Amino acid sequence: MLGEGVYKRFTGNANVFATDIDLNEAWLTHLDVRDKAQVEQYLEEIRPDYIVHLAALTDMEYCETHPDDAEATNADSVAYFAPYVETHGTPFVYICTAGIFDGKKDVYDEDDEPHPLSVYGKTKYGGEINVKKYPKHVVARAGWMMGGGPIKDKKFINKIIKQVRSGAKELFVVDDKLGTPCYTYDLANILYTLLDQEQYGVFHGVCEGGGSRAEIARFLMESLGRKDVTVTEVGSDYFKSTYFAPRPRSEKMVNRHLHDLGLNLTRDWHDAVEDYAHKFDWGL
């Protein structure tokens, strides 16, 4: 999801070497970041001036049931770049998550102390700790991610749209969990700008504002012109057998550090959802 946005934002201003284990684009080459030898060999081949680490396992239920795989991908892989980064002083970008917080506060900024509840959150925070060892690091904490369109979006927005496309006229959506959408195209622009201006540290990269899943789903339906679809609010227990990984009550974040630098390039979440709704043909 984010890789597509980053590739498009950086291409034209840099030679981009994009890798994945799923080669679903012509511009991708294979690299498994869980393999230390592969990582070191690839770095010596291309000798990058910047490294943007987007690889992650983000399926929270998968992470709960496969903690070793989550640890290897989300945390350990960051350390495999250390010999190259430390030798060359390479700027290193890592994407973290609002899931590192426990939800006891309503809204979090960059200086709030993480207390992750899930395996996913714990392993992503482990990756953040590893990357902070690099002098020129950018940790960008993302919220409820949206981007990539109907093929690449594996998150909430596309899951809702898939239900509508299959004929659903009533959507049951959680109203007791709060968060802030994070638009991949805005986040990619932030990452580019931070590297371009040599601004390092920890940043939140979410949209302005936030709300419940139900609020976002309702606005999405309005943006798509689907007044025939009803959003019915339910509690998290309604989906407890499917989504069993612990989730914080609130994952809402603010981009205080970006605001302080005058670099907050994200939009209000309503504007981002509306833009996303009309950016792709969703087959509705």
Q: What mean pLDDT is predicted for residues 85-106?
A: 97
pLDDT at residue 134, as a whole number = 95
Q: What mean pLDDT is predicted for residues 268-276?
A: 97
Q: Domain 2-154+180-209+253-267 is of which CATH architecture?
A: 3-Layer(aba) Sandwich (3.40)
Length of the chain: 284
Q: Which residues does 217 contact at the CB level (< 8 Å), separation at least 6? A: 156, 160, 171, 173, 231
Measure the CA–CA gap between 144 and 210, rounded to whole angstroms: 10
pLDDT confidence bin for 108, thresholds 50/70/90 = very high
Pairing of strands 51-53, 92-97: parallel
Q: Which residues does 4 contact at the CB level (< 8 Å), separation at least 6? A: 25, 147, 148, 152, 184
Counting Cβ atoms within 10 Å, is residue 52 exposed (0-12), middle (13-18) or buried (19+)? buried
Q: How far is the CA of 263 from the CAs of 94, 178, 186, 193, 204, in angstroms? A: 18, 25, 12, 8, 11
Q: Which residues does 179 contact at the CB level (< 8 Å), separation at least 6? A: 98, 143, 144, 210, 211, 213, 250, 251, 252
Mean pLDDT score of the chain: 96
Nearest to 253 by CA among 158, 112, 137, 60: 112
- pLDDT tens track for 110-144: 999 999 999 999 999 999 999 999 999 999 999 99
To the nearest whole percent, how much of the chain has pLDDT over 90? 99
pLDDT at residue 131, as a whole number = 96
Nearest to 57 by CA among 4, 10, 126: 126
- pLDDT tens track for 158-183: 999 999 999 999 999 999 999 999 99
- pLDDT tens track for 1-53: 999 999 999 998 999 999 999 999 999 999 999 999 999 999 999 999 999 99
pLDDT at residue 276, as a whole number = 97
Statement: residue 264 has pLDDT above 90: no
3-state SS assignment for residue 109: coil
3-state SS assignment for residue 214: helix
Statement: residue 206 has pLDDT above 90: yes
Domain ranges of the chain: 2-154+180-209+253-267
* Residue 208, phi then psi, degrees to nearest 5: -80, 140
Cβ 178 vs Cβ 249: under 8 Å: yes
Cβ 97 vs Cβ 120: under 8 Å: yes
